[in-house]
């Protein structure tokens, strides 16, 4: 079963990543802690634990998931191109998967070779928030073809 295993945010651009057990997510702000992200196709980033570990193995270095600077860490679903346009449900939260996260040059500063290791969705996916909801570590996750109504 897929589940949410970590939540992270930063208070300032390029700042330290903080982790919390639960958080409110809104269409207007994205994560309600840290930097506000107005509605956009890149409002939230979701990283898959299994794919992150593959990237770390490629560079032969154990790195914390927060080094990738994503907002949510999940396990049990590995992302690919077929997920774009689908909705990921995390508890009651619905996120539209808008694309593959493209790693930035900062990943090379984290560890040499990491930028290239984050190919093929190993850097996660970008998402747009579709509804307001509280989420917490341990929430179940599933993906649907389209937005489901409450």
Q: What is the pLDDT of residues 69-115, one digit of tens each?
A: 999 999 999 999 999 999 999 999 999 999 999 988 889 989 999 99
CATH topology for the 3-144 domain: M1 Pyruvate Kinase; Domain 3 (2.40.33)
Q: What percent of the chain has pLDDT over 90?
A: 75
Closest CA to 97 of 43, 32, 26, 38: 43
Say how far apart CA 106 and CA 136 lie, in whole Å: 28
Average pLDDT over residues 35-51: 83
Residue ranges of the domains in the chain?
Answer: 3-144
Please list, in sequence order, all residues whose beta carbon lies within 8 angstroms of the beta carbon of residue 124, skipping any fewer than 6 positions away.
Answer: 45, 46, 47, 48, 51, 68, 70, 79, 100, 101
Q: Is the dihedral of CA 121, 122, 128, 132 positive or negative?
A: positive
Cβ(87)–Cβ(143) below 8 Å: yes
Q: Per the confidence metrics, is the pTM higher than 0.95?
A: no
Which helix (H) or strand (E) covers residue 143, if one does? strand 141-144
The rounded radius of gyration (Å) of the Cα atoms in the chain is 14
Rounded CA-CA distance 69/75 in Å is 16
């Amino acid at each position: 079963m897929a589940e949410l295993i970590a939540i992270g945010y930063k208070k300032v651009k390029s700042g330290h990543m903080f982790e919390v057990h639960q958080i409110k997510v809104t269409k207007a702000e994205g994560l309600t802690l840290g930097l506000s992200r107005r509605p956009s196709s890149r409002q939230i980033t979701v990283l898959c634990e299994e794919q992150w570990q593959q990237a770390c193995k490629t560079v032969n270095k154990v790195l914390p998931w927060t080094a990738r600077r994503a907002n949510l860490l999940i396990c049990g679903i590995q992302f690919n191109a077929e997920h774009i346009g689908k909705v990921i449900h995390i508890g009651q939260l619905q996120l539209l998967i808008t694309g593959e996260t493209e790693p930035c040059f900062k990943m090379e500063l984290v560890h040499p070779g990491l930028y290239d290791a984050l190919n093929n969705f190993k850097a996660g996916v970008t998402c747009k928030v579709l509804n307001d909801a509280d989420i917490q570590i341990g929430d179940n996750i599933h993906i649907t073809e389209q937005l489901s109504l409450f």
